[in-house]
A and B are shown apart, each in its own frame.
Chain A
Amino acid sequence: MFEVFFPILFLFVLAVVIALIMSGLSVFIGKRTKLGKKDEPYECGVEPVGNTKEPVPVKFYMVAILFILFDIEVIFLFPWAVISDRLGMFGFIEMVVFVVILLVGYFYILKRGALEWD
C-alpha cells in the first residue's frame, strides 16, 4: 500500500510546491508599473463593452449533461473489459444488450437534434 501510494502523494506535493513557486516567481521578481489602463481586459484597443457575467448559450450545458451520461456508461465498460475473459459469452451478450440500450438513447438525442451545433 505504502509503496504504491506514497510516491503519488510525494509527486502531488512536489507538483503543488513547484506550481506555487512558479506562479509566485513573477509576482515577486517581475517588474511592476502602474500605467494607465493596463489592467483593462483585452479588447483590441477599443473600450470593452458590458461584462462577462452573462448567461452562456444553453448548448454548453447540454453537452455537459450528455457527457456525464455517456461517460458513466463508458466507465461501466471498464470493469467488464478487465474480466471479459472470465465472464465469457455470458458477459459479452450482457454487454451487447447494454450497448444496444445505450445506442437507443444515442439515436434519440441524435434525432432530437441535441448534437446539432447552430
Chain B
Amino acid sequence: MFEIVVITVIKVSVVMMAILTGCAYSTWLERKVLARMQNRVGPTYAGPFGLLQPVADGLKIIFKEDLVPKNAEKVMFALAPIVTFVPAILTFAVIPFGADRILFGHHVKMVISDLNIGVLWIFAVTSLGIYGIILAGWSSGSKYSLMGGLRASAQMISYEVSYGLSIIGVIILANTLSLTEIISKQSSDSIWFFENWYIWKQPLGFFLYLTCAIAETNRAPFDMAEAESELVAGYHTEYSSMRFSMFFIAEYANMLAVSSVGAVLFFGGWNGPVLPSILWFLIKVFLFMFFYIWLRATFPRFRYDQLMSFGWKVLFPLALLNTMVTAGFKMIK
C-alpha cells in the first residue's frame, strides 16, 4: 500500500512535469519548424537556438494583466480554462510510455494506471474538453467568442463519432481495450520489428484516426475554432495572461495525447529495437507532432460547411465501412 502510494506520487509528478515541459517545447518546435518552412529563422535570441523562448514566454505571460470583460459570466469565465486543462492532462493517465522496469528494487510499470478499459477512458476524457470550450465561448460575452465556441463544439462532436469508429478496427484485431495489451500484441522479436504494427492491417483506420484527431484538437487545416481571419481568436478571444495560456497548454497537451494514442494504437507504442523503450515512444510522438506542424504549414483552412459535410458524409461512412470490412476479414480467417 505505502509502496504503491510512493511510486504513484513520484510517477505522476514526473509525468506531469514531462507533459508541461512537452507542451512548452511543442510551442518552440512549432514556431521553429513553421519558420523554417516559410524560410524564416524563428526564435533565436533567447538561449541557443531560441531554446529558452518558452521560459521567457511563460514568465512574460504571468506578469500580464488578467482582464475579465464586463458582460462576462464571471464564474464560468474563470472555470472554463480549468475545465479545458484538466481533461487534457487526464488523458495521459492510461498511456503506457515504456516497458516495465526494475527501479531501486521495485517493479515499476511505465504507465500511470494500467486501466483495462484504457481506450474508453481516453474517449470519455477527450469528450469532456468540449465543455471547457463551449463554456469559454458562451461566458465571454463577446460575439467572436460565441461564434468560435459554437463552431468548435459542433466540429468536435461531429468528428467525435468518426474518431470513435476509426479505432474499432484496432480493437477488433486486438480484442482488448487495454493499451498495454494492445502494445504487447504489436511486439515482434524478428528483425522486422515493425511487422506486427496495426498500421499495416489498418491503413484506412489510421488515416481516419489521424484526420479526426486533427479535427478534434482544432488544428490546421481544421482550425475553424480560431479562424484568425474571421473570428479573431475564436473562443479565447477575451482571455488574457495565464488563463489564455492555459487554453494553449491544453491544446498542446491534447495534441501530445492524440499523438501518443496514435503511436500506441497504430505504431506499436514503445516497441522498437536497440534504443530504450521510452526513447522509441518519444520518437514516435515527436514524428506525429512534426506531422501536425507540417500540415499547418502546408494546407489552407477548410470552409465550415465543407468541414461539416466532410465529417458526416465522407469520414463517417468510411469509418463504418472500415469497421465492418475488418470484422469480415477476421471472420473469414
Contacts and interface: CB of A to CB of B under 8 A. Distances in A.
Interface of A: 2-8, 10-12, 14-16, 18-20, 22-23, 25-27, 29-33, 38-43, 48, 51-52, 56, 59-60, 63-64, 66-67, 70-71, 74-75, 77-78, 81-85, 88-89, 92, 95-96, 99, 102-103, 106, 110, 115-118
A67 B146 CA distance: 20
A77 B238 contact: no
A74 B165 contact: yes
Contacts of A40: 69-70
* Main SS at interface, chain B: helix
B76 interface: no
B67 A11 contact: no
Interface in B216-242: 232, 237-238, 240-242
A71 B63 contact: no
A92 B328 contact: yes
Contact of B90 (A11, A70, A71, A118): A11
6 contacts: A8-B112, A23-B243, A71-B160, A71-B161, A74-B165, A78-B164
A30 to B, nearest CB: 5
Contacts of B143: 41, 43, 48, 52
Contact of B81 (A14, A19, A92): A19
A11 B64 contact: no
Interface in B153-175: 153-154, 157-158, 160-161, 164-165, 168, 171-172, 175
B222 to A, nearest CB: 15
Nearest to A70: B161
B31 interface: no
B138 to A, nearest CB: 8
Contacts, number: 208
B61 A42 contact: no
Contacts of B146: 52, 56
Given A82-B177, A115-B308, A19 B246 contact: yes
A92 to B, nearest CB: 5
Interface centre among A39, A41, A95 (most CB of B within 10 A): A41
A64 to B, nearest CB: 6
A10 B82 contact: no
Contacts of B317: 106
A42 B65 contact: no
Interface stretch (B2-10, B48-56, B284-292): B2-10
